């Protein structure tokens, strides 16, 4: 499964911290950001994650996160 999210993450250091945190929550998933995209894309790929939980965890950390259709 692949899920793509629009976020408000602006800085590389923020993205690195979030990726490390999400990798702890969802081991075995491939997680990355495309901050050059106007939507500051977060991409999560794997079989062992809940898409709603990813968005909830991002919001808990103070970031906007909406799944793209």
pLDDT of residue 48: 87
Given CATH 3.40.50.620, say whether it is the number of domain 2-67. Answer: no
pLDDT of residue 51: 94
Dist CA 47 CA 34 (whole Å): 21
State yes or no: pLDDT of 69 exceeds 90: no
pLDDT tens per residue, range 39-62: 999 999 999 899 999 999 999 999
Mean pLDDT over the full length of the chain:
97
pLDDT of residue 45: 98
> What predicted TM-score, i.e. pTM, was given to this entire model?
0.94
Q: Residue 4: CB partners within 8 Å, gap ≥ 6?
A: 41, 42, 43, 44, 67, 68
For the chain, the structural domain boundaries read 2-67
Report the residue count for the chain: 69
- CB contact at 8 A, 44 and 31: yes
């Amino acid at each position: 499964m692949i899920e793509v999210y629009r976020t408000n993450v602006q800085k590389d250091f923020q993205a690195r911290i979030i990726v490390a945190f999400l990798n702890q929550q969802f081991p075995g998933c491939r997680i990355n950001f495309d901050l050059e995209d106007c939507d500051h894309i977060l991409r999560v790929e794997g079989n062992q994650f809940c898409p709603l939980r990813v968005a909830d965890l991002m919001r808990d950390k103070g970031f906007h996160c909406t799944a793209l259709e």
